[in-house]
């Protein structure tokens, strides 16, 4: 960077260039490019996410437009089988909706729920972890006890419970409107613990370091210390956990939808589609479940692989 400064390039540009140089020459990028599996996984994720985001543009039909859906087309097989039709490339479901389009929109929903749940989880978990680690004492004990108790129950159960409770409390029509939010909230509430624990542990360690104590002594407000000084230093592992958590969140949403307490068949996610198709498996109409199933599996697998690579790349022991 000294050379750049000497050559007259302004300091902040020099700094940005240095960062790019560091990134491209870094171990991280090298290990990424040298692992064909990881590159493949990244490609798959980008394709799927891209397709889902562009669903309104690229889907052959809009499955939510009831006018375009006709029961006469119900349960048609995929295009390459007898009775199939290329205007419904992967067949239709029991209501006559095009499976391919519904899959694309469904993936969108799955990603939306999964992504939001993880984001919410991260915010909640990191915040609570920081508070627990920073304040210590009774606050710490209470938060960690709750975390411990919650950890001994599987997330699915917690999500189901929250969902069930909401269902009982709210009247039916209100339920339909807020299903999405309830889903996101219940998944987020099941997974905040992992983030909280990690962040709390790191906070406890960092809190005693000199740079924090220095900031404290010169009178910087505690909230500011935590956010500007402490937070960047404890956020590292959170990224890895968040990636793996994304896969789990998508999986949990799919499971909840499959069990019937997730997204409804009117606006189905991949899980709901599989549930719908489950009833038709025995009669031989396999495509309603199988295609969404394959897509779901691919998505989760790829995100998991990326998370694995990220974890190995950040693990000092393996370098």
The residues binding other proteins (CB under 8 A) are 30, 149, 152-154, 156-157, 160-161, 163-165, 167-169, 247, 251, 254-255, 258-261, 271, 274, 278, 281-282, 284, 286, 289-290, 293, 296-297, 300-301, 304-305, 308
Residue 49 and residue 75 in contact, taking contact as beta carbons nearer than 8 Å: no
Query: What number of other Cβ atoms are within 10 A of residue 58's Cβ?
Result: 13
What is the SS3 assignment for 98? Answer: strand
Residue 316 and residue 240 in contact, taking contact as beta carbons nearer than 8 Å: no
Q: How far is the CB of 247 from other proteins (least distance, A)?
A: 7
Q: How far is the CB of 301 from other proteins (least distance, A)?
A: 4
Q: Which is nearer to other proteins, 103 or 226 (CB)?
A: 103
Q: Which is nearer to other proteins, 12 or 319 (CB)?
A: 319
Q: Considering only CA atoms, which of 98, 58, 61, 106 is closest in space to residue 78?
A: 98
Q: Which is nearer to other proteins, 296 or 310 (CB)?
A: 296
Q: Which is nearer to other proteins, 206 or 285 (CB)?
A: 285
Q: How far is the CB of 234 from other proteins (least distance, A)?
A: 23
Q: How far is the CB of 308 from other proteins (least distance, A)?
A: 8
Q: Considering only CA atoms, which of 189, 158, 191, 124 is closest in space to residue 261?
A: 158
**What's the CA gap between 28 and 315, in Å, rounded?**
11
Cα 233 to its chain centre, rounded Å, is 23
**What's the CA gap between 9 and 15, in Å, rounded?**
10
Residue 166 and residue 182 in contact, taking contact as beta carbons nearer than 8 Å: yes
Q: How far is the CB of 258 from other proteins (least distance, A)?
A: 5
**What's the CA gap between 27 and 30, in Å, rounded?**
5
Q: Which is nearer to other proteins, 130 or 189 (CB)?
A: 189
Q: How far is the CB of 300 from other proteins (least distance, A)?
A: 4
Q: Which is nearer to other proteins, 222 or 260 (CB)?
A: 260
């Amino acid at each position: 960077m000294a050379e750049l400064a000497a050559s007259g390039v302004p300091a902040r540009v020099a700094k940005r260039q240095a960062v790019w140089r560091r990134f491209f020459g870094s171990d991280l990028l090298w290990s990424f490019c040298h692992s064909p599996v990881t590159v493949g996984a990244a490609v798959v994720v980008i394709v799927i996410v891209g397709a889902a985001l562009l669903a309104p543009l690229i889907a052959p039909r809009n499955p939510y437009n009831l006018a375009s859906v006709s029961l006469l087309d119900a349960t048609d097989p995929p295009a390459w089988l007898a009775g199939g039709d290329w205007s419904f490339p992967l067949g239709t479901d029991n209501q006559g909706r095009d499976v391919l389009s519904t899959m694309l929109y469904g993936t969108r929903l799955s990603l939306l729920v999964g992504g939001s749940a993880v984001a919410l989880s991260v915010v909640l978990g990191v915040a609570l972890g920081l508070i627990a680690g920073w304040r210590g004492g009774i606050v710490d004990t209470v938060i960690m006890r709750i975390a411990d108790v919650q950890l001994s129950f599987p997330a699915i159960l917690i999500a189901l419970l929250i969902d069930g409770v909401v269902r009982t409390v709210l009247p039916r029509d209100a339920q339909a409107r807020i299903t999405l939010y309830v889903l996101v909230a219940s998944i987020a509430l099941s997974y905040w613990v992992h983030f909280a624990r990690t962040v709390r542990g790191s906070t406890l360690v960092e809190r005693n370091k000199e740079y924090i104590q220095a900031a404290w002594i010169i009178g910087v407000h505690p909230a500011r210390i935590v956010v500007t000084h402490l937070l960047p230093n404890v956020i590292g592992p959170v990224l890895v956990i968040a990636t793996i958590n994304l896969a789990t969140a998508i999986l949990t949403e799919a499971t909840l939808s499959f069990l019937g307490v997730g997204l409804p068949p009117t606006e189905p996610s991949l899980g709901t589609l599989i549930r719908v198709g489950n009833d038709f498996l025995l009669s031989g109409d396999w495509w309603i479940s199988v295609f969404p199933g394959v897509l779901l599996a691919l998505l989760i697998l790829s995100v998991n692989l990326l998370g694995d690579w990220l974890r190995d790349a950040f693990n000092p022991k393996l370098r």
